[in-house]
A = this chain, B = another copy of it.
Amino acid sequence: MSRRTHRPRRVAAAVRQLPWQRVHNPYPPVEVLSADQVEAVIDAALTVLETKGFRYLEDESRSMLLAAGAEPAGPERMLRLDRGLVREQLRHAPRGFPLRARNPGRDLWIGDNEIVFVSVGGPAFCSDLDRGRRPGTYAEHCEFLKLVQSLNIIHQEGGGGFEAMDLPPESRHLDLYLAQLTLLDKNAQAYALGRERTLDCLEMTAIALGTTREQMEASPAVLAIINTNSPMQLDVPMTEAIIELARHRQVACITPFTLAGSMSPATLAGTLAQQTAEVLAVVTLSQIVRPGAPVMYGSFASNVDMQSGAPALGTPEYARMALASGQIARRLGLPFRSSNTTTSNCVDAQSAYESQMSVWSSILAHTNLLNHAAGWLEGGLTASFEKLVVDAEMLQMMVETLRPIVLSDDEFALDAIAEVPPGGHHFGTAHTLARYETAFYQPLLSDRQNFERWQEGGSKDAAMRANEIWKQLLKDYEKPANDPAVEEALSSYVEKRKRAIAARLR
């Protein structure tokens, strides 16, 4: 090998990253509960539903549940669900299902041992090192979506990286969908706040896929997060969304927001029981609306800081409940969702170790959907351009960690071991040279320069390097090929709907 081939090959300024790939976890899940303990949690959840009940704030859902056998409970709009009813409805829910993307090469599977990484969704603010933390604009929001498209390790866009505060809230979702369906060819989550926003997503997705809402029922293309209003209730907009999703056989990822000590008891057992009760209350509704509607068991169980009442994320409690929740979801036969979380206010060591706590525990729990997997900061209040890159690096590393070790004569390399003298080195062996380009994971962000070179290069920490990387990705972004007729149809739909919304508000 000449010295020349030994040098790094710098392919222009392009950012080096792993190719797009679906991810499977080849190892058994880590189990922190015994089988009996899993049953005990589920039993406690069913007990809660049949003794205390659950509050369904929306009228149509209550009527449907009453017709199916639920019973009115004491307080206003509470219904008690018999465990037989819950178990009967649960039986209809599928264990796994496909999820279509605009680009068929990016179709997903939700369930089994597959893991889907989702970019952050929903923050009120955005931030980067240059412009600081601020309410974002639509233009910045589109920048963020372009990065989500460009980072191969992200499988699904999370329903809007952050709110576009320069757009009117009543029609903002239409602009979001238009951006999702033209700037990305990956699957993107719906913004399912109420019936209209959900139906707009179904309609526009059908246009983008060149299909109809009816045809989409055979193979879902829309996934939305359905949050309960913990403890123990479901509000009107979320109910409307889950009814429409179920009716059209699209995916509802049912996720209670149980911060132990505030929205649930200050114990892990109580929080797991309540979370499970809430998921089952909504699963039951979904299956009554349409048996077989695809649903997921979502966990966002963490704790509050008992001294301040502030949310505490990426904590040991979060990790333990993620592991337990995965077991409960599997026992119920539902795909499992968890998240990548941190409370840190900047892209520092804390943001990384809390995210790692979340990601490792989620992967070991066999999560099927890692929501907010990239870009989340500040307890979910901010989408960070730099954190997006840091998280992408961490997700790439996790995927590589899941690769089984190959043991073969060639990989054992006993000839190479025999060839190199004691105390010598393997740099120049034929065995090493044959693997020069592909032997090991090549990082997206991590720096391995020695201290002196790193200092000469400006002592850039991971956040500063991430800043350079997202700017380069933005420069290199290429819009996926769109059929102009489809793009026009999407724009007309948005215009038409905006006029209708404006007319109604006048």
Q: Which residues of A contact B (CB under 8 A)?
A: 7-9, 27, 30-33, 37, 40-41, 44, 47-48, 51-52, 54-55, 75, 78, 133, 229-233, 260-270, 272-274, 277, 303-312, 315-317, 319-321, 324, 343-357, 360-361, 364, 378-379, 381-382, 390, 393-394, 397-398, 400-401, 403-408, 410-414, 416-418, 420-427, 429, 431-432, 435-437, 439-443, 445-451, 454-455, 459, 461-463
Q: Name the one of B52, B133, B307, B450 contacting A418, with C-beta atoms under 8 angstroms.
A: B52
**Chain B residues near A398 (CB, 8 Å)?**
316
A55 vs B308: C-alpha distance when bound (angstroms) = 61
A223 vs B280: C-alpha distance when bound (angstroms) = 54
**Chain B residues near A274 (CB, 8 Å)?**
417
A258 vs B231: C-alpha distance when bound (angstroms) = 53
**Chain B residues near A40 (CB, 8 Å)?**
407, 412
Give the shortest distance, in Å, between A12 (CB) and chain B (any CB).
16
**Chain B residues near A361 (CB, 8 Å)?**
401
Q: What is the chain B residue whose CB lies nearest that of A75?
A: B421
**Chain B residues near A350 (CB, 8 Å)?**
352, 445-447, 461-462
With A270-B411, A449-B310 as contacts: A427 and B354 at CB distance below 8 Å: no
For this complex, 11 residue pairs linking A to B, each with C-beta atoms less than 8 Å apart, are: A33-B405, A231-B423, A261-B435, A269-B406, A306-B439, A306-B442, A312-B440, A317-B400, A319-B401, A343-B447, A349-B352
Determine whether the beta carbon of A403 is less than 8 Å from that of B320. yes
**Chain B residues near A463 (CB, 8 Å)?**
348-349
Please list the 8 inter-chain residue pairs (A to B) with the smallest Cβ-Cβ separation, ordered nearest first: A270-B413, A316-B400, A356-B356, A265-B413, A352-B352, A55-B422, A348-B461, A269-B411
With A352-B350, A390-B349, A435-B267 as contacts: A426 and B52 at CB distance below 8 Å: no
Q: Name the one of B312, B348, B461 contacting A448, with C-beta atoms under 8 angstroms.
A: B312
With A346-B459, A440-B306, A451-B381 as contacts: A266 and B405 at CB distance below 8 Å: no
A41 vs B418: C-alpha distance when bound (angstroms) = 16
Q: What is the chain B residue whose CB lies nearest that of A133?
A: B451
**Chain B residues near A319 (CB, 8 Å)?**
401
Give the shortest distance, in Å, between A71 (CB) and chain B (any CB).
16
Q: Name the one of B317, B343, B360, B394 contacting A446, with C-beta atoms under 8 angstroms.
A: B343
**Chain B residues near A9 (CB, 8 Å)?**
307
Give the shortest distance, in Å, between A257 (CB) and chain B (any CB).
11
Determine whether the beta carbon of B270 is less than 8 Å from that of A416. yes
Known pairs A316-B398, A353-B390 / 14 extra A-B pairs, C-beta < 8 Å: A9-B307, A27-B30, A40-B407, A231-B420, A264-B417, A265-B416, A265-B431, A269-B406, A269-B408, A269-B413, A305-B448, A352-B356, A360-B360, A381-B451
Q: Name the one of B54, B264, B310, B406 contacting A422, with C-beta atoms under 8 angstroms.
A: B54
With A360-B360, A397-B315 as contacts: A348 and B261 at CB distance below 8 Å: no
Q: What is the chain B residue whose CB lies nearest that of A429?
A: B265
Determine whether the beta carbon of A439 is less than 8 Å from that of B305. no
Q: What is the chain B residue whose CB lies nearest that of A52?
A: B418
**Chain B residues near A272 (CB, 8 Å)?**
405
**Chain B residues near A423 (CB, 8 Å)?**
55, 229-233
Determine whether the beta carbon of B316 is less than 8 Å from that of A422. no
Determine whether the beta carbon of A266 is less than 8 Å from that of B454. no
A8 vs B398: C-alpha distance when bound (angstroms) = 37
Determine whether the beta carbon of A448 is less than 8 Å from that of B343. yes
A411 vs B404: C-alpha distance when bound (angstroms) = 39
Q: What is the chain B residue whose CB lies nearest that of A416?
A: B265
Determine whether the beta carbon of A462 is less than 8 Å from that of B52. no
Give the shortest distance, in Å, between A430 (CB) and chain B (any CB).
11
Give the shortest distance, in Å, between A10 (CB) and chain B (any CB).
10
With A361-B401, A422-B54, A441-B317 as contacts: A308 and B381 at CB distance below 8 Å: no
